[in-house]
Amino acid sequence: MEYSCDVFEEKDEVECFLDLLVEASARANAIIPTNLKLRAMPYNHFRVSGGSEPFVHINVALMEGPSEKDLEQLADLLFSAVSRHFAEVKQVTLDVRTTNPKTYRKR
């Protein structure tokens, strides 16, 4: 998750929002909740559409396997949750993509 530093007023709001993402993801067929890894990165300096209005962007990377339908369900569940939570933020984006297991490395 990437976001402009002004979308959260308190640090604990970030933790609560990450919990909301976990809950929304758990309802998707494509997700195994114990495999989730969430990170939140605030940005102080940015440009969005030529300006500096608040934004929230969610990146989701999954190993190959889930069907297109399951990926779409995940995108819909997450985007709905994010959009509801940040109703006042105009720039809300989400990208769900698959990772190639042949080129992914982890230790």
49: domain CATH number is 3.30.429.10
Determine, yes or no, domain membership for 107. no
| pLDDT value, residue 36 | 85
Of 80 and 11, the one with more pLDDT: 80
Q: Rounded to an integer, what distance in angstroms lies between the CA atom of residue 11 and that of residue 58?
A: 18
- What is the separation of C-alpha 36 from the centre of its chain, rounded to a whole number of angstroms? 11
Provide the domain limits for residue 47.
2-99
Determine, yes or no, domain membership for 50. yes
Determine, yes or no, domain membership for 29. yes
Determine, yes or no, domain membership for 90. yes
Single out the residue of 10, 103, 3 nearest to residue 44, CA to CA: 3
Q: Report the domain count for the chain.
A: 1
Tell me: pLDDT of 77 over 90: yes
Cα 82 to Cα 55, 76, 106, distances in angstroms: 11, 10, 29
Of 9 and 93, the one with more pLDDT: 93
3-state SS, residue 3: strand
Q: Rounded to an integer, what distance in angstroms lies between the CA atom of residue 24 and that of residue 27?
A: 6
Quickly state the pLDDT bin for 106 (edges 50, 70, 90).
Answer: confident
Determine, yes or no, domain membership for 104. no
Determine, yes or no, domain membership for 106. no
| pLDDT value, residue 7 | 93
Q: Over the stretch 25-59, which tens digit does the pLDDT of each residue have? A: 989 988 888 888 899 999 999 988 888 899 999 99
Looking at the chain, how many residues does it have?
107
